[in-house]
Amino acid sequence: MNLTLKKELPIIGIVLMPFVYLTFIWNTLPEKIPTHWNYKGEVDHWGDKFSLIGLLFMLPVFTYVIMLIISKIDAKKRISLMGGKFYQLKFFLVLFMSMLSLFIIYTVKNQ
């Protein structure tokens, strides 16, 4: 197995966590779910449960893809000078976005 792919597998697993959780609880979700909250924590926008799939795509998946693209288009090769710092940054950003997605799904389920 390629060393780069082996290094990326934990991050890919983190990206997939919200999708796995959503798959397990999909049938227990109501058809109408909150999609936005105001500064007071009150729901001010509702949508169908399929909008969660878009949210899951936008948070961890989009973050991971952007971080991959940034490392490929680095014209001055500054990222390679960072050593493991860029990988750590990518790991923690994707972890944060996945945890945020999990929290949103959990909140929607237990509304």
| Predicted pLDDT of residue 3 | 55
Query: In the chain, how long is the greatest CA-to-CA distance?
Result: 50
Q: What pLDDT is attached to residue 92?
A: 96
Q: What is the pLDDT of residue 62?
A: 93
Rounded Cα gap, residues 18 and 105, in angstroms: 8
> Bigger pLDDT: 1 or 49?
49
Q: Are 58 and 40 in contact (CB under 8 A)?
A: no
Portion of the chain with pLDDT greater than 70, in percent: 97
User: According to DSSP H, which parts of 58-84 are helical?
Assistant: 62-72, 78-81
pLDDT on residue 2: 57
Q: Which residue has the higher pLDDT, 75 or 24?
A: 24
The domain total for the chain is: 1
Q: Tokens for 40, please give them.
A: 């007071």
What mean pLDDT is reported for the chain?
87
pLDDT digits (tens, 9 = 90+) for 13-36: 999 999 999 999 999 988 888 888
Strand partners, 71: none
Q: Round to whole Å and give the CA distance between 103 and 59.
A: 12
User: What average pLDDT does range 30-51 have in this prediction?
Assistant: 87
| Side-chain half-sphere exposure of 70, counting CA atoms within 13 A | 13
Other beta carbons within 10 Å of 7: 12
Would the pTM of this model clear 0.75, i.e. be above it? yes
Containing structural domain, residue 17: 3-109
